[in-house]
Structure 1
Amino acid sequence: MQRTTVIQEEWWELRAEATWGNASAGRDVVALRAENDQLWRALAGRAVIDQARGMVMVLTPCSRGTARKLLVDVSRQCDARLPEVAAVLVAAWEGKPLPERMHRVLRRTLRRFHAENQECDSRRPGGSSR
């Protein structure tokens, strides 16, 4: 005897039906839900990363790619995931203090970025030499 169960997810208003007795359909539903959850988390993390990247672009006139590299560098030095670093930076922009270690790493990374840019400018023809 087969039984059908309806799974209701209110947030996305999705319906999925799993038929008991048909193991492959049940596994498919579980796999699809896990993939869906993973995609939603990735999208949420990406929005915060994009916001933090924009903040870095304002602080240091640089391209999107360079801003991401700077955030990745801070993430590696702080031993934290990129979305976590981005969330802390966005929270700091809104008034919450940065953790001391991240503050030091971010300052060091931005100083290195500016020093490298000054070196590049001084090597270019017509670049400013100080």
Structure 2
Amino acid sequence: MPPAGDAALLAEVLELRARNEQLGRALASRAVIDQARGMVMALAPCASDRAWDLLVDVSQHCNIKLRDVAEALVATTKERTLPDPIQRELCRALRRLRAADRR
């Protein structure tokens, strides 16, 4: 059985590895979310914060994680079809955005 200090060190290393993996996933998610935000800014057109709000709105209305909505939107650049629920809600959100801009 390893000494208590070795066990504590091992636990800390495992915790740091897990945190590192989590941060790596978050960073990758952030990149795809930023790409989707840029796509919305070009589609709408709108400012970055409004594009973020629109993506969050679509995510919440579809009950799909934001990164999954973003991944689906970015995948359309590789000739993938946007899933119907996301497509419907994105169209609705874009209409709401445009209507708000007309006021």
TM-score (norm 2): 0.93
Runs of 4+ in 1 over 3 A off after TM superposition: none
Instruction: Look at both structures and tell me which one has the larger radius of gyration over its CA atoms.
Output: 1
Where structure 2 has 5 or more consecutive residues not aligned to the other structure, the ranges are: none
For each residue in 1:53-103, what CA deviation from the matched residue of structure 2 results, as whole angstroms up to 9, or x when unmatched?
000000012111110000000011111111110000001132111111111
Q: Measure the CA separation in 2 of the matches of 1:62 and 1:106.
A: 14
What is residue 56 of structure 2 aligned with on the other side? Answer: 72
More helix per residue: 1 or 2?
Answer: 2
More strand per residue: 1 or 2?
Answer: 1
Identity across aligned pairs (percent)? 50
Larger RCO, structure (CA 8 Å, separation 6 or more): 2
Instruction: Kindly report the root-mean-square deviation, in angstroms, between the aligned alpha carbons of the 2 structures.
Output: 1.1
Q: Secondary structure at the match of 1:98?
A: coil
Letter in 2 for 1:49: I
What is residue 32 of structure 2 aligned with on the other side? Answer: 48
Q: How many residues align?
A: 101
Where structure 1 has 5 or more consecutive residues not aligned to the other structure, the ranges are: 2-19, 120-130
Q: Measure the CA separation in 2 of the matches of 1:99 and 1:71.
A: 15
